[in-house]
Amino acid sequence: MITAGFDPARSLDCGDCGHLYDPAAGDPARGVPPGTAFARLPAGWRCPGCGAAPHRFAGPAVSADPARERVVALIEAYRHVAATDMKGLPVCNSALSVEAVEFHPYGDAMLGALITPWTLNVVLLPNDPARYESLNDGDKVSEVMPSATYGFTIARLGALGAIAAIPAVSDMTVLRDRNDAVAAAVAALKTVLTPRPPEPPAAPEPEPASAPAAERSGGVSRRSLFRGRRA
Ligand code: FE
């Protein structure tokens, strides 16, 4: 809940799914322009991640959580990159802004998907900035996820320490809008977090001619996500 003295520019996260509402980004897909404080959201607005009512979004109590603060710092770090190094580059989708999707505690880290105008990654953000201290930008680290063991790529972000990321969508210009990006982010996280059923002993079924509609999300086939990355 919003309390007196709470900074209207601060982000709030959904207590049900972890979706972060960022006032700077607003929610253009639902007619909420960038710069809209949480308290100014229109009546009937619901969490884009899970449909929860606004009262499910937490204010200062949860935002004071150091792990949540690090997610906000992650967004701010990438927003700075978007406004400087990546600004105006043709690889950027101008319909998109930096956005954290469904970040939630995962072991001693926060796991979620990070949308930027130029890439979409599943990101492991350690609670301890020193966790990947011995690794350099671009190094690989194996992390066990419920679906498989993935080779995450290290990215160093100054005082935030290093994060580990796996790319889910590398060409963001194929996405039409923010809804596409959020759908792809949610699908990527689900792919990583869904345990793989044991391999059946029988011979594999023949491949269908094309991916069924249910496998498509936001214009990106889930089959294209993490291709060849299963350990
Ligand atoms: Fe939610």
Per residue of the chain (231 residues), what is the pLDDT tens digit? 222 234 556 778 887 787 888 888 889 888 899 888 887 888 889 988 888 888 788 755 445 678 888 898 899 899 899 999 999 999 999 999 999 999 999 999 999 999 999 999 999 999 999 999 999 999 999 999 999 999 999 999 988 899 999 999 989 999 999 999 999 999 999 999 999 887 777 776 766 665 444 444 444 444 445 544 444
Same domain, 53 and 73: no
Distance (Å) from CA 50 to ligand 1 centroid: 4
Distance (Å) from CA 34 to ligand 1 centroid: 19
Same domain, 123 and 44: no
Structural domain includes residue 34: yes
Distance (Å) from CA 90 to ligand 1 centroid: 32
Distance (Å) from CA 11 to ligand 1 centroid: 14
Q: Which two tokens stand for residue 164?
A: 């580990």
Distance (Å) from CA 210 to ligand 1 centroid: 32
- Per the structure, how many domains does the chain have? 2
For 156, the 3-state DSSP assignment is: strand
Residue-number span of the structural domain to which 11 is assigned? 1-62
Q: How many other CB atoms sit within 10 Å of the CB of residue 111?
A: 21
What residues does the ion ligand 1 have nearby, CB within 5 Å?
14, 16-17, 19, 47, 49-50, 52
Structural domain includes residue 21: yes
Buried b (16+ CB within 10 A) or exposed e, 4-40: eebeeebbbbbbebbbbbbbebbbeeeebeeebbbee
Same domain, 88 and 109: yes
Same domain, 57 and 88: no
Structural domain includes residue 222: no
